[in-house]
């Protein structure tokens, strides 16, 4: 079997099983199986696969058909234009989480910030992205999972920011050594019954998915501990799931009635990031909607 035939057959199999972008997935898996670049793959399309290469490619196809995320199979995931290593000890970074980075960078451009904390850093994708774009800011990145921090440390080294991202093991805000100017967090927000009923924890770590009965357990705990971990004028950016933004905004207003609450939708129109900011010159932006 040639590389071209292997690509065609794999793509057809993926298409028949409803896998999105079947040709691209087939190409990525074949390149990973052979450890070659895209250019070399297309230069060698007429080459015959060795039996061990064909067997290795077949194993990768089976893993993909079983539902294992492509990022875990290849060990790579692009986020905010950067390549990150991932394995099953961390969630696969999602495109919608890039909005968290964009909002943080926008705020850092408006305010003088010395320190930012990424709570529940996982692979370190958010922390590394912030560190690369804000070289003057100290980044703290916390996670309760030691294996996740190992992945984050690898990604910090890969992108040359290990000297500016301080990785800390512990739950939520507890490991922070000092108050910070901004807290960003993509915490578990999937409802517990959804994690089990949809089999979401089959490959990704349940610890990083389940947010309890309504999905907000970790978010509530973080919000209630905010006041002592934010510097005067400091803020918070939280990623939330579909339908959760209003509940989180109400919680924040109940805890910080003099704050300015912002809700930012993602590209799909889902209210994805809830922000807590010091009160601006006007009244609370969402006070009327949430009362």
What is the band of 286 on the pLDDT scale with cuts at 50, 70, 90?
very low
3-state secondary structure of 190: strand
Cα–Cα distance measured from residue 33 to residue 220, given in angstroms and rounded to the nearest whole number: 44
What mean pLDDT is reported for the chain? 89
Check residue 213 and give its pLDDT.
76
Element (H, E) at 230: strand 230-239
229 phi and psi angles, rounded to 5 deg: -110, 0
Contact yes or no for 113/134 (Cβ under 8 A): yes
Contact yes or no for 273/240 (Cβ under 8 A): yes
Dihedral class, residue 69 (left if φ above 0, else alpha if ψ from -120 to 50, else beta): beta
Contact yes or no for 22/15 (Cβ under 8 A): yes
Share above pLDDT 90 across residues of the chain, in percent, rounded to a whole number: 76
Check residue 248 and give its pLDDT.
94
What's 3-67's CATH class?
mainly alpha
pLDDT per position as a tens digit, 144-193? 999 999 999 999 999 999 999 999 999 999 999 999 999 999 998 887 77
Query: What is the third-level CATH fold of 77-290?
Result: Rossmann fold (3.40.50)
pTM of the model: 0.88
Check residue 111 and give its pLDDT.
87
pLDDT per position as a tens digit, 46-97? 999 999 999 999 999 999 999 899 999 999 999 999 999 999 999 999 999 9
Degrees (nearest 5) of the Cα angle 78, 84, 89? 115
Check residue 205 and give its pLDDT.
75
Dihedral class, residue 67 (left if φ above 0, else alpha if ψ from -120 to 50, else beta): left
> Which alpha helices (DSSP H) does the chain contain, by range?
3-16, 22-34, 38-43, 51-65, 70-74, 98-110, 125-133, 146-158, 192-197, 217-224, 245-255, 287-290
8 phi and psi angles, rounded to 5 deg: -60, -45
Cα–Cα distance measured from residue 159 to residue 135, given in angstroms and rounded to the nearest whole number: 12
* pLDDT over threshold 60, residue 199: no
Residues 6+ apart with CB under 8 A from 207: 144, 145, 188
Largest CA distance in the chain: 70
Q: Which of 1-5, 24-28, 211-215 has the lowest mean pLDDT?
A: 211-215
Contact yes or no for 180/156 (Cβ under 8 A): no
What is the band of 196 on the pLDDT scale with cuts at 50, 70, 90?
low
Mean pLDDT highest for which of 166-170, 195-199, 284-288?
Answer: 166-170
pLDDT per position as a tens digit, 234-246? 999 999 989 999 9
Check residue 174 and give its pLDDT.
94
Cα–Cα distance measured from residue 218 to residue 122, given in angstroms and rounded to the nearest whole number: 15
pLDDT per position as a tens digit, 24-45? 999 999 999 999 999 999 999 9
Domain ranges for the chain:
3-67, 77-290
pLDDT per position as a tens digit, 97-125? 999 999 999 999 988 899 999 999 999 99
């Amino acid at each position: 079997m040639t590389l071209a035939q292997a690509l065609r057959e794999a793509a057809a199999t993926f298409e028949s099983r409803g896998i999105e972008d079947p040709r691209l997935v087939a190409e990525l898996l074949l390149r990973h199986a052979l450890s070659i670049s895209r250019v070399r793959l297309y230069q060698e399309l007429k080459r015959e696969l060795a039996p061990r290469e064909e067997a290795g490619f077949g194993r990768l196809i089976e893993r993909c058909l079983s539902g294992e995320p492509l990022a875990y199979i290849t060990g790579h995931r692009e986020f905010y234009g950067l390549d990150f290593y991932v394995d099953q000890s961390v969630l696969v970074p999602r495109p919608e989480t890039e909005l968290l980075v964009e909002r943080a960078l926008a705020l850092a451009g408006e305010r003088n910030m010395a320190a930012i904390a990424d709570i529940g850093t996982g692979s370190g994708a958010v922390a590394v992205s912030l560190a690369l774009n804000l070289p003057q800011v100290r980044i703290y990145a916390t996670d309760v999972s030691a294996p996740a921090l190992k992945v984050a440390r690898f990604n910090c080294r890969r992108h040359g920011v290990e000297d500016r991202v301080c990785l800390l093991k512990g739950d939520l805000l507890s490991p922070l050594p000092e108050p910070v100017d901004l807290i960003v967090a993509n915490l578990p927000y999937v409802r517990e019954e959804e994690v089990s009923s949809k089999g979401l924890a089959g490959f990704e770590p349940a610890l990083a998915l389940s947010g309890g009965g309504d999905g907000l357990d970790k978010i509530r705990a973080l919000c209630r501990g905010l006041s002592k971990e934010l510097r005067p004028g400091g803020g918070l950016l939280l990623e939330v799931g579909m339908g959760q933004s209003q509940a989180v905004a109400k919680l924040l207003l109940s805890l910080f009635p003099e704050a300015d609450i912002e809700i930012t939708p993602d590209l799909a129109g889902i209210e994805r990031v809830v922000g807590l900011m010091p009160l601006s010159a006007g009244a609370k932006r969402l006070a009327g909607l949430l009362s």
